[in-house]
Every structure is written in structure tokens, then in C-alpha cells.
Chains A and B, each alone.
Chain A
């Protein structure tokens, strides 16, 4: 007779701005089974007082604590929601990766977009998902260029933000290699999951076998063929990124030397200029020349907005998993944004049953570190209206003053944080951890 779940615990680790969760399910056979969900941390964070430890050593310490926790049972599986560094960079730290590898995970689960065998085809007539993959790859090439060539506008606030953001979009080759290695060594074929399309059966995953008595619903990401809103962003078009890449090669972007000093504010005249001869080639002296030079600085902000769209697109590749364990329900959405969420909540073939189940959710891993676009308001209101005998446990792994300056981009978002302080929720944030506290366990 198959063992049945008896306990559910989620351990949230302090990884500064990142995610690292250990889901532990106790069974009637006395064996606790563990799934590691994400293991990453954002790099290039401006140092401030009171921040938790960051860097390779801190990630290795986290890996070590995971090893201590799981003991001889090892890991049943690793789930990497998506490829942003704050979700997988730990696997790129040699010592940390070695520790995790030693835990012999049986299965590695990632998004369908990470499948090395996924066809990529930039042709206008290719299938939507093939173009989508090609677009993401082309976009990553541009991000790499931007990150590795801090052009003259890097002296401006927007330019620095652009460079930093572009760096987070670059695939972490070491981490991906480690995941591929662990996946190949597992007892189950690596999985690259997507939500089922309309009329399709639920997405199968070996997670359900490895965790007996657990149902795993894959709510996202949707494939572009079934949810055009995911792929309709212009910036997922490979042609767009190829053209962008071509434009980066010309002096407009890369030519001029960085002017020393200068007030690092947008539009600052000291933040690098084209040479006179370069400008002469583009425009005659006169009023238009002033505008053209201004347009060039404006282009930094334009590209920044566009790279933010790439960031959003990669977030939308997040695997969204709803675990039903005994009578408990836990939701791990990675960094999925609203476009992806709405597929799971309104178009997924089992969306009605899922919506009903979500009303009875026991634990919610707050999406995208508490940003404004990753916890749909309709879902929040759904939780508020649900009759519950105890608060919904919300766990948020985040750090303030890393992302965003305006109301629209600040993470975590103030309104959401206020909303999660409602008595209907029992919210735990890594911001509440004491200095030196490496993890906290939440018993579901």
C-alpha cells in the first residue's frame, strides 16, 4: 500500500533577493520526501547596511543547510521555475552545486522554454512556440551584448539600470550545465513543463510519482499557441531582436568615450556624446541636431523599457505548480506575471476546479518577490472572500531597495504588502528574518 502524506513543511531560505524553498512531505512510511524549488540570488546588488549575506559563500551555506535538513533521504526533485539568476544562480556556484548534486535528485523540472531540444525558428511562418523560442534566444543575445558592453550611457541612471537588468537576463551557463548534469543523472527523464492547452489532459509530471498521494497541477506557463497574449509582445519577435542587435553595432551606441564625472541623472549632457563628425553624418547643424542628440539619450530609456519587457517575458516562462497534498494546497508560481496567471485561472482546461481549489489554498509563495504584476487582484479577492478556519500562509522571499524606483516598478510593492497584512493572511517575509537567520520553517 502506498504511503500517505502526513505532514507538510515549507522551508524558506534567506537568499536576499531570490527564491529558495524546500518542500518537505512526511509520510506514513516514516520517510520524508523533499523537493527543492529554486535556488538563486540576484547578484550586482548595491550594498546597504543591514543586508543579509550574499555571494557564493552564502549560497553554499544554504546548500549545506539543505543537506543537513534532508539527510540521507536526498532530494526527490529539483524544480527551477525559470532561468533568471535569482532562481538558479546557486547551481552555478561550484561548492553549492556539488552539495546539491550529492543529494542525488531523481528529477529536474524546468519550463518548456528551457528544453534544449525545443525547436527555434524565426521564420514568420513557423509555429508560434518555435518563433517564441527563437525570439527569447535572440533577445538573450542582445542582453548579453548590452551587459558586456557598458556603452556611454552607462554613466546615466537609466544606462546603469539597463546594464544591470540586461545582466540578469543572460543565461547562467554554469548553473544550466549543473542542472543538465543532475537531470541526466536522475532516475527520471528531465521534464520541461507547460500548462495543458484547451481540451488537453492535465500535464503529466513524475513529481506525482515521487511524491505519493500528491497531485501536481501545472497552471503555467502556457504555450503561445494556446495563449496568444504571451507571445503577442512585440519584443518576443526574433526579427525585432535581430534588428536591435544590428543597431547596437553602430557608433550611435558604442562609439563615444564615456565622459568622466557628471551628474548621473537621465538626460545629463555630460553622459557621453557623439563626436562632431559622427553627428555631422547624421544631421546638419541646426535645431534638429539638438533633438537628435537628445533622442540618443532617450533611446537608452526606450531600450530600458524594452529590456524590461524581456524580463517580463522570461518571468512568464515560470512553471506554476499547485500541489495538493492530503487536504493541503500549496501554490508556487515562480515569477509568473499576470498574463501567464490569467491563462491558468481562466483558460486552463481544469480552470474551474482549480479556481475552486485555490479558494482553499493553504500556502502561497508570493509571486515575483512581491511585485505589483505577479499576484492577480482577482485571486487576492478570491482568497478574501473564501470561508477559512485559519489564515492563508503567504511566504515572500524578497529584499527591498533592489528593484524599482517608481510606484510601478518597486519590489516588493507597497500596496501588495499592505494587502497581505490583512488578517486573512499569515505572511512571512525574509525581510522579517533576524540578522544571521538562514531559514524559517512554515508548517502547513
Chain B
């Protein structure tokens, strides 16, 4: 019997298959040893079983912004990318690179990643040739985007869809002559601009690892939480930017040779002085800067104040003044608070890990320092990504993110051996972001059992209608007003492996509620529900749209364990949101509040990412 594999693995002559249809000694039909050997002889011996194909493909990418150099050369790294069949483009099952320049349109030429061509050539070619190679730009953007998506899927234990129908996201590495790069949900694409440098040559945003990882994160987050684009409180718009920065920052640490090169500062030293591994020294390192080339090229005055990187959020001083300061409502600026909190927590985690293994107290082996940094970054990145499942689908606040990280991590790693959760609490608290009480609640109370009688466990794992039935049957315990429109808009299964090696399965379902009324009507609705909404400051006739929603997390037995809720009729929150929308002029084209923004979806990220210098001086 031949075991056949449906792949292109190699033939392995030493592997012998088991023949389950053979005859054992002494059994009827046994005609002796020679007969048994002949019976066991494998037919078609040249088609022996093969080993599984490689899971990964190794590709060279630029590991940081092209202007960050070691030894006068941009930093390259060979990274692992999930292996798949690639068509010219390159085009895979999740990404398609389209090398088309809309500013100087010419016939589209597909680029190819050819496994027969050794990747090492990209390691040695000079920076200018690398930048000008359309093939390399395509490879760089494909590989970085693929790794970013893979990071999410590994952390969540499931496939992550795009927000649009269809399975591929377009990546356009040289889209327009503009110092901008942005995710366009309407185009199902990420567009990377290019611009000329003062001293000659071109800068391609598709060659910046930070920018590619950042933009891909926008696309992934949009697939996980598409409602984050609804007009909400300033934290929500800021979160998209902040989270994309966090992923870009922490992703660098998955390239240990890059981290080592930066820590060594261009030398070949095997030891790093302990004073270069303090929290302040690490915060000032290029490892924690973002988008250096774009920042310098834009001549951003704000960036010049903070360093040459477009954003070096980690250098922000902790404080709470930002919370009520309208100056800090601008999404980029506000997002820096969250990035700073996470980055400072990361530095604390890294330094904490190093403190346990410091050798002579003065110096640390580079490889050890890098490895500990990589572990801390990987853990924190996974914690942050898993937290998305525990986050509300809209009406998002930074405190919700902290809550989600802490609760979800507690599920997976109850012991917190390295005190990661303490580091996060402490870092967030320094910026006035505290874990809310009673935001994520356990479902059901002693003496009040949930109703399952009409439900089916398998359906609860996959069917939005079944989830809705669950909500319908347990409305009293969940506190969700089912007399209002409600939509279960996502349901996903996740699989995680805890530190003890055991698998934890969860089902995460999100639901949203919405109500359209006039500002004047909200007061009457609130009163009828024994609440209070003060419509002072609003034109009573202005149409408004308010939202509520939540996430329900079910355990592996189909029982709900957590409910992350943003009640529709939380009048304090609704008033704060509407006041912010008025203050920021966020009305749609018909002058309505809360229905949308004046910009079409395709332009919202473009506008966010258009260079905005001196943001701290603008109104």
C-alpha cells in the first residue's frame, strides 16, 4: 500500500509505510517469512511517502525605515513568511500586489517571487538599487503584510477576514506620488505613496517596515472591528492609529538580528553595557521610533521636537492632563498616549526579564538581551491582539483596551509569572487610564440561571441567529434592551494555548444596537426609561444616531463567561459622545450627528495619514 500525499513534498526513501492489510505470523494465510516479506513489499517503491512541505518561506525585507542604517546600510533581515503558492503579482490567497503607479500610469507589470532565485542577493545589493527595484518593493510589502496578518492569526487562533467581501487585499507599493500611505476599505487596498528626496532619489513608503505593518494592521483591525469607523468618542478614532503603531513597534522585535544590530550600535560587541538597557536608554533607541524617513522628509516641526522619527510616542511624559484637554482630542496626538502607555509597559517588561538574568551586573550578553526583548514583545503583542476579542465593537475607550487585555490574559495565563499585567496596570495608570469596574462582567448570577432550553451548542458556535436567540431568551440577565434594533454582527471561534500547554477554546460574538431620533426626542426616551438626557446645547431638531453594543465570550462548553457591554441607554456616555461630535464638527453631509463623517470611507484613513505638521499648534 502506498501512502499518497497531495503535495509537492520530497520523496524520502528511508521511510517505510505501514501496511495494515498484511498477514501476521501464524495467522491463516501465513505462508512463511518469504511470503510475508513479499506481501509487505511496497509497490511503486519510487513513490514512497514524502515529508510535509515547509510551513515557511524565507524572504528578505527591510527591517526598519530605510534611513535607519547600521554600518552605512539600511537594515535587512531574512524573515519567515507563511508559505503558499504565489502567482505573478505576486498574488497569494490573502494578498495581491499590484505594481501600478497612478501618477505616471504605464502598463501594469506583475512582479514575481521566484523560489529558485536565492534571497541572499537582496542582502548584499546597495541601498539605492534595492529601493529602485520594483521586484524588491513588491516582495517587501508582501512579506511584511503577510507576517503581520500571520501574527494576528496566531494570536487569535483563527483566520481573520478582511472587512470587505473577497479574500484578498490589494497592496500597491508605488501608488501615487504623494508623501502618504493609507488603507482604503472601499478599494480593498493599501496604497503606498512615494516622494522625492532633497538630495536626489526617491523614498517609497512601501519600503518602511513600520508603515507597511501599520497600514496592514488598520486593514486587519477593520476586519475585526469594522464599527470602529463609526463616529464615536475621540479614543475610538485614536485607537486605530495607536494600535497600528503598537503592532508596528513590537513587530520589529521578531527580527532578532535587527534588534541585535541596533543594540550593538554598529559594533561587533557581544556584550551590551547595562546602562544601555535602562528604561530611558531603551526608550531613546531607534527601536522605538516609527517612520523616520517620512518624518524627516516632511520636515515636521513636531517630529523635530521629538526626534527625527515621525512618532516617538514612548518619550511622552506620563500625566493625566490630556484626558480633559481638547488639544488632545486630535486622533494622532491622542493615540500617542496609548502607544506611550504600551511602549513603557513593554520596556518595563523587557527590563524586568533582564533583571532576572543579569550576569556581572554591568553588561549583558547581546543575544540574551535580544531574546528577552523578543519574548517580551511577542507576549505583549499577543496580549494586545487577543484583547481585541474582549473589546466592545464600538463606543471604545482606552480603558476598555486595558480591561480587555487584563481579563483576557487572566483567562489564558492566570499566574502571570513575569508580572506583565502589573507592568501594564502601572504604565496605564501613569497616564490616568484605569481598569473600569464592572465593565466586563461575568454572565449569570447565583440563583438566576441562564436559559438554554431552545438553543443548540453547535449553532451557538457559528450562527448569529442562535446568538441572538440566546440574547432574546436571557434579556433580563444580560440587561440588553431587545425592544430596540439589535444585530449580531460577528461570531468567531478562537483557539489559544496556555502556558500549561492546554488548549483553551472560546467563541466570541459581538452585537450592536442603534437608535435614530432627534436630539429633542432623546430626552423623552430617556425619561420614559427612567433615565435622564439633557439636550441643552443641541438643536432639538437635529437628527442623531446613538449606538450601543457588546461582546459575549463563550467558553469551550458553550457557556457565556463574559459580557463586555456598552449599553445603548447609557445617557452619560451618549451625551459625552454627542457633545464631542458637535465640538469637533463631525457631522455627515446632511448635517446629522452620529450617522457618519463627511469623508467617504476610502478617504478617512488617507486624511488621517496625510502629513499633518505641528498638530499640537492646530485647532
Interface window among B63-71, B188-196, B511-519 = B188-196
Q: Which residue of A lies closest to B329 (CB)?
A: A415
Q: Which residue on A lies nearest to B582, using beta carbons?
A: A414
Contact A247 B103, beta carbon cutoff 8 Å: yes
Interface string of B322-348 (1 = CB under 8 A from A): 000011000000000000000000000
Question: Nearest-CB distance from B383 to chain A (Å)?
Answer: 33
Cα–Cα distance between A377 and B103 once the two chains are bound (Å)? 36
Question: Smallest distance from the beta carbon of B323 to chain A beta carbons, Å?
Answer: 17
- Tell me the nearest residue of chain B to A237, going by C-beta: B196
B178 touching A291, Cβ below 8 Å: no
Interface residues of B in 377-424 (CB under 8 A from A): none
The yes or no answer to A350 lying at the interface (CB within 8 A) is no
Chain A residues, CB < 8 A from B179: 234
A205 lies within 8 A of chain B by Cβ: no
Task: Return the CB mask of A224-249 against B: 1 if under 8 Å, else 0.
Answer: 00001100111001011001100100
CB neighbours of B599 from chain A (8 A):
405-406
Tell me if A306 counts as interface (CB < 8 A to partner B). yes
Q: What 1/0 mask marks residues of chain A from 247 to 277 whose CB sits below 8 Å from any chain B CB?
A: 1001010000000000001110000000000
Query: By the criterion CB–CB under 8 Å, are B104 and A234 in contact?
Result: no
Residues facing B in A192-238 (CB within 8 A) are 228-229, 232-234, 237
Q: B607 and A406: CB pair below 8 A?
A: yes
A252 / chain B contacts, CB cutoff of 8 Å: 102, 105
Segment among B31-39, B139-147, B169-177, B480-488 that sits at the interface with chain A: B169-177
Give chain A interface residues in 293-315, CB to chain B under 8 Å: 294-296, 298-299, 301-302, 305-306
B residues near A291, Cβ cutoff 8 Å? 98, 100, 170, 172, 187-189
Is there an interface contact between A283 and B100, defined as CB atoms closer than 8 Å? Answer: yes
The answer to whether A244 and B301 touch (CB under 8 A), given A339-B614, A406-B599, A407-B586, is no
Residues of chain A in range 312-343 having any CB-CB distance to chain B below 8 Å: 338-339, 341-342
Residues in B neighbouring A432, C-beta threshold 8 A:
none
B96 within 8 A of A: yes
A298 x B184 contact (CB < 8 A) = yes
Query: CB of B198 within 8 A of chain A?
Result: yes
**Which residues of B are found within 8 Å of A436, using beta-carbon distances?**
none
Q: Using Cβ atoms and an 8 Å threshold, which residues of chain A touch B585?
A: 406-407, 410, 413-414
Flag if B105 contacts A302 (CB, 8 Å): no
| B589 at the A interface (CB under 8 A) | yes
Q: B618 near A288 (CB under 8 angstroms)?
A: no
Q: Scoring B residues 563 to 594 as 1 if CB is less than 8 Å from chain A, else 0, what string do you get?
A: 00000000000000000000111100100000
CA distance in complex: A407, B237 (Å): 13
Stretch of A74-82, A139-147, A368-376 on the interface side: A368-376
With known contacts A305-B178, A338-B617, A405–B100 Cβ distance under 8 A: no
B187 contacts A298, C-beta separation under 8 Å:
yes
CB distance from B41 to the nearest CB of A (A): 50
In whole Å, how far is B592's beta carbon from the nearest beta carbon of chain A? 13
Whether A415 and B583, one on each chain, are in contact in the complex, defined by CB atoms closer than 8 angstroms, is: yes
Closest to A234 in B: B195
A373–B589 alpha-carbon span in the complex (Å) = 23
6 closest residue pairs by CB, A with B: A232-B299, A405-B598, A372-B619, A283-B108, A299-B102, A415-B619
List A residues at the B interface (Cβ < 8 Å). Answer: 124, 158, 228-229, 232-234, 237, 239-240, 243-244, 247, 250, 252, 265-267, 281-284, 287-288, 291-292, 294-296, 298-299, 301-302, 305-306, 338-339, 341-342, 372-373, 375-378, 405-408, 410, 413-416, 418-419
